[in-house]
Every structure is written in structure tokens, then in C-alpha cells.
Amino acid sequence: MNPEQARALRDGHPREVPAPFLPQPDTLKRRELHFDAVHISQVLRAHELLGGLPDLQVETGSTATSLIVSYDLREYTMEGLEAALVAQGFQFDASFVRRIARAIIHFSEETQLRNMRVPERLIKKSQQVYSKAWDKHLHGDHDETPPHMRQDR
């Protein structure tokens, strides 16, 4: 931690919001949409269009061709936002790196949504299931001595 960060913490300045591609286990997401550089006028139109959606915050991005959107995963997904914009005629940056980044985000959000729908496993119950299965499995660990002949130790 450098001295400026220590002063900011001491003085109670708010922390910076996370970067768009940092791991975010919570349902609140902050993502950066990168538009095609040829159609730079689309950024302003997309800002107006997305700004009208409820529970979605839109900010200018790190470049002139990007927007940062903040949303709750239970309300929106990046894939859904992109699909809606593409249906309106918007074009995104089609570079290899951006396509891979979008695919990873789509996959991670889809997986998180799927995991949110699955009921939580009861760990104690699952341990009992495995214990019973192990007891019935012929694995050579059984004591063949009848119970009445065993000594208590």
C-alpha cells in the first residue's frame, strides 16, 4: 500500500469500484461494452438507450468507444444486453481479444445463474449417503469376526 492509498483509507474516501473484468462473486456486475471503432456515434446512442433501463447504471468507458454498465445479474446479463443492442443495429468490437473476453463473461454469468437456481446441497446428508454406500461396497475392509467374539478395546 502506498502513502496515498493509506491516506485515502484514513480519510474515509470511498474505494474505487472494481475493474470490469475482476472476479465478482456477488450478483452485482460491472462490465465494459466495447463498440466498433468505425461506428463511434453508436456509443452515445447506446448510452441513451441503456440509461433508460431500470436498475441499470451506465457510465462512459475507459475509451471513446466503450461504455461501463453496472447491473444485478438477477435482472440482466451481459449477453442479453449485447443481444438487445445488436437487434437495434449496434456493432461491437470484433477483435479476437474482445470476443474471447465476452465469451468468458457470458459463460461465467450463465454458470453463476445456473448455480443460483440449483438448491444448496446438504453436506451432512451427502456424507451419510457416501458412508452408507461405502459400507455396502465390497472393499475388503470388513471384520469377518462375529460381533460376540470381538473384544472391546
Under 8 Å between Cβ of 63 and 37? no
**Cα Dmax for the chain:** 88
Under 8 Å between Cβ of 75 and 55? yes
Q: Render each residue's pLDDT in the chain as its tens digit; 153 residues.
A: 666 666 666 666 555 555 554 555 688 999 999 999 888 888 999 999 999 999 999 999 889 999 999 999 989 999 999 999 999 999 999 999 999 999 999 999 999 888 877 666 656 666 677 777 766 766 666 677 777 887 765
Give the C-alpha separation, 31 to 70, whole Å. 6
CA angle 85, 91, 94 (to 5 degrees): 125
- Answer whether CATH 3.40.50.970 is correct for domain 26-117: no
Give the C-alpha separation, 18 to 36, whole Å. 24
The reported pLDDT for the residue numbered 70 is 94
Q: Which three cell numbers mark 28?
A: 452485482
The reported pLDDT for the residue numbered 145 is 78
Give the C-alpha separation, 31 to 66, whole Å. 10
The reported pLDDT for the residue numbered 106 is 95
Cα dihedral 72, 90, 60, 34 in deg (nearest 10): 80
pTM over 0.75: no
The reported pLDDT for the residue numbered 10 is 64
Q: Where are the domains of the chain?
A: 26-117
Q: Is 114 in a helix, a strand, or coil?
A: helix
